[in-house]
């Protein structure tokens, strides 16, 4: 994944954004400010919806970046080099150079990203509870609740045991630990990735044809991305920690 814009460096790793992020950013901000927020909190001025939608989308991408940076930092600590972090249409990619030396390192590198997303989700959820208890409802609460949900969803989706998701690397670490065979572990994770991808494509198309809307199409696209990832063809998990990060805004 090539970065179209460079944002700078975090923890010594170049961070960039692919142009496709603009598309998903706009889709999320639009989905929130034109649909979800007006439906849940009617009667507010348009600028308030737009502001809340934009702010929630920005914070979401900052959280996604934190997820990728955590992969990069733990990978470096475990002796791997990290080429770059790039955000794109389906989430983030941290390009890891080299291989984890043992299953434990693989587990730490893969596991920290979803853990960060989970903690962010709980953090936003906690603030949402405090805000609600303080009697402050409205758009702030709506944005916090959405951020809590989307980050927890991010954590859960990424631990699905299928390459090239983080969960695929976790599965690989587990099989590697159990059998002592790294190649076999890679194959198992890659096959699981292909199966999950095919399931998502099927489920997504089924939903789309039943008229559920773009959510189904999005699911199918993510499934296609899993199938198309280079991992299953080569039987290797790929060098990159790929994290599917963009939830459907609808
Ligand atoms: Zn990840």
Task: Write the pLDDT tens digit of every residue in 66-110.
Answer: 999 999 999 999 999 998 899 888 788 888 888 888 999 999 999
Does 46 reside within a domain? yes
127 Cα distance to chain centroid: 22
Q: What is the mean pLDDT of residues 55-66?
A: 95
CA 160 to ligand 1 center in whole angstroms: 11
Q: What is the mean pLDDT of residues 165-193?
A: 91
Q: What is the mean pLDDT of residues 54-60?
A: 96
CA 8 to ligand 1 center in whole angstroms: 20
Please identify, among 142, 159, 176, the residue that sits at the C-terminal boundary of a domain.
159
CA 172 to ligand 1 center in whole angstroms: 14
Q: What is the mean pLDDT of residues 152-171?
A: 90
Q: What is the mean pLDDT of residues 124-131?
A: 96
Same domain, 108 and 227: no
Q: What is the mean pLDDT of the chain?
A: 86
Residues with CB under 5 A from ligand 1 (ion): 113, 166, 243
Same domain, 227 and 130: no
Does 188 reside within a domain? yes
Same domain, 154 and 185: no
- Whether 224 shows a pLDDT value over 70: the answer reads yes
- Whether 249 shows a pLDDT value over 50: the answer reads no
On whether the CB atoms of residues 92 and 20 are closer than 8 A, the answer is no
CA 165 to ligand 1 center in whole angstroms: 7
CA 30 to ligand 1 center in whole angstroms: 25
Same domain, 122 and 216: no
Same domain, 27 and 68: yes
- Whether 231 shows a pLDDT value over 90: the answer reads no
106 is catalytic: no
Catalytic residue among 68, 95, 99, 106: 68
Residue 229 pLDDT: 64
**What residue numbers bound the domain in which 175 lies?**
161-236
Q: Which helix (H) or strand (E) holds 211?
A: none
Same domain, 21 and 144: yes
Residue 244: band (very low, low, confident or very high) from pLDDT cuts 50, 70, 90: low
On whether the CB atoms of residues 231 and 163 are closer than 8 A, the answer is yes
Same domain, 64 and 173: no
Does 246 reside within a domain? no
Does 226 reside within a domain? yes
Please identify, among 159, 179, 201, the residue that sits at the C-terminal boundary of a domain.
159
CA 243 to ligand 1 center in whole angstroms: 4
- Whether 233 shows a pLDDT value over 80: the answer reads no
Same domain, 142 and 165: no
Same domain, 25 and 79: yes
Q: Vertex 161, ends 211 and 196: CA angle to 5°?
A: 35
Does 250 reside within a domain? no
Lowest average pLDDT, out of 7-11, 130-134, 219-223, goes to 219-223
Higher model confidence: residue 221 or residue 124? 124
CA 250 to ligand 1 center in whole angstroms: 22
Please identify, among 133, 159, 185, the residue that sits at the C-terminal boundary of a domain.
159
Share of the chain above pLDDT 70, in %: 90
Condensed to tens digits (0 to 9), the pLDDT of residues 5-52 reads 888 899 889 999 998 888 889 989 999 999 999 999 999 999 999 999
Torsions phi, psi for 140 (to 5 deg) = -60, -45
The domain tally of the chain equals 2
- Whether 131 shows a pLDDT value over 90: the answer reads yes
Same domain, 152 and 183: no
């Amino acid at each position: 994944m090539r970065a179209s814009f460079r944002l700078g460096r975090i923890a010594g790793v170049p961070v960039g954004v692919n142009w496709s992020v603009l598309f998903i950013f706009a889709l999320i901000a639009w989905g929130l400010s034109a649909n979800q927020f007006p439906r849940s909190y009617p009667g507010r001025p348009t600028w308030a919806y737009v502001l809340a939608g934009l702010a929630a989308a920005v914070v979401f991408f900052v959280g996604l970046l934190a997820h990728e940076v955590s992969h990069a930092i733990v990978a470096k600590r475990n002796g791997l080099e990290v080429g770059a972090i790039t955000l794109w249409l389906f989430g983030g990619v941290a390009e890891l150079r080299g291989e984890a030396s043992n299953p434990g390192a693989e587990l730490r590198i893969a596991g920290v990203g979803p853990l960060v997303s989970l903690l962010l989700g709980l953090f936003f959820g906690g603030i949402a509870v405090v805000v609600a208890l303080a009697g402050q409802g409205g758009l702030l609460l709506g944005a916090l609740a959405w951020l809590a949900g989307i980050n927890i969803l991010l954590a859960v989706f990424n631990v699905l045991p299928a390459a090239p998701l983080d969960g695929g690397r976790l599965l690989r670490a587990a099989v590697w630990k159990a059998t002592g065979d790294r190649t076999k572990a890679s194959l198992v994770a890659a096959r699981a990735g292909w199966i999950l991808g095919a399931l998502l494509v099927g489920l997504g198309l089924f939903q789309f044809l039943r008229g559920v809307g773009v959510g189904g199409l999005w699911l199918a696209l993510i499934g296609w991305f899993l199938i198309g990832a280079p991992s299953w063809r080569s039987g290797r998990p790929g060098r990159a920690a790929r994290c599917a990060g963009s939830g459907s805004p609808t």
